[in-house]
Amino acid sequence: MSNLQTLINRNQDFKNQFGHSDLPILPKLRTVILTCADSRVDPAHIFDLGLGDSVVIRNTGGRVTQETIDEIASYAFMSAMMDKSKGVQEPFEVVILHHTQCGAERFANPELQKALKNKTGVDVASIAIHDHEESMAEDLNRLIDAKKELPDHIIVSGSIYDVKTGGVETTINPSTLEDLRRATPNE
């Protein structure tokens, strides 16, 4: 049985109380939160976000992929263009938010990876989470390496959300890509 009617009914309640028709295109907090698609991990609840506060990108594991880099680049470009028209440059931030008990941890199992690839053609090796801090470092390095797509002034950070306690622990302190690129040896 479909849950569509339940969602439509909830939307009617939302519509009846809606008062946000004047929100700007760019998020008020000038932040993109990249997180997992897991239904237990909702940044609106975790960070008490209001409508229009932040862009949220969700995928399996909350991993930095080429697609997420492209999305972040488009938001950063739009932000810079709007800032230029106003004669300002405001900070633009990316928060990587992983979480405990993530399904992408199961993708670290080589047998599961192989079975999934054989059955569906989907290769999950690049999004598998072996260790959250390692995976977070990999994601950060993907952002650092995206020199063509992502401007230096973007601030990035990383945190892990605990699905049992509701708490968030910062594992990568906020830094600009410029500072991180300077600190990373050239390859």
**Residue positions in the annotated binding site?**
36, 38, 99, 102
Rounded CA-CA distance 44/56 in Å is 9
Vertex 58 angle, CA 55 and 60, to 5° = 165
Rounded CA-CA distance 147/151 in Å is 7
Question: Which residue, among 46, 139, 59, 61, has the nearest Cα to 101 in the 3D structure?
Answer: 61
User: Which of helix, strand or coil describes residue 8?
Assistant: helix
Point out the annotated binding site for Zn(2+): 36, 38, 99, 102
What does residue 100 show for φ and ψ, rounded to 5 degrees? Answer: -70, 160
Structure tokens at 85: 């028209």
